[in-house]
Amino acid sequence: MSGISYMTQEGYEKLKNELEELKTKGRENVAKAIAEAREKGDLSENAEYDAAKNAQGMLEMKINEMEKMFSTARVIDESQLDTSKVTVLTNVTIKNITNGAEVTYKLVAEAEANLKEKKISVNSPIGHGLLGKSVGDMAQIQTPAGLINFEIVNISL
């Protein structure tokens, strides 16, 4: 996918809001913690100061990662998607050939992946194995639990 993250409008807005929150309130909270630790005296032996500076570094790293993700994000209009094949942002119902269990997942960008909401990343083993398949196709996917065979039952938006 050459570094581009395809997202829904909802996922894009969520990322944008989270980034703004970190840049404003997150930085403000870290600055307060550093200021409070400074007031306690000698900085060379001040564990609170070290912890606050560490937290600042971690926050800036997270902001940097999110800005990179944001810069490569592309919003996809779901109404323009072709449901004849599994693509990013499609819902795909798959059937485990071994046990007959069926499950429906929505393939999304890594930033939007949430297994509780049945949203899996297109970069995950299952997501990657399903891309480009059509209804009736078989997908043999290497998962942490071993090799699993799935049948594509349905593709929708």
Q: Do 68 and 9 share a structural domain?
A: yes
Q: Are residues 133 and 91 in the same domain?
A: yes
Work out how many domains the chain is built from and give that number.
2
Domain boundary among the residues 75, 100, 129 is at: 75
Question: What predicted TM-score, i.e. pTM, was given to this entire model?
Answer: 0.63
Residue 150 has pLDDT above 80, yes or no: yes
Indicate the angle between helix axes 47-72 and 9-21, nearest 10 degrees: 150
Closest to 145 (Cα-Cα) out of 96, 78, 100, 109: 96
Helix (H, G, I), strand (E, B) or coil at 22: helix
pLDDT tens by residue, 99-136: 989 999 999 888 788 889 999 988 888 898 999 999 99
> Mind listing the pLDDT tens digit for each residue in 42-72?
767 778 888 888 999 999 999 998 888 888 8
Tens of pLDDT, residues 65-81: 888 888 888 887 777 77
Domain holding 29, by residue range, is 5-75
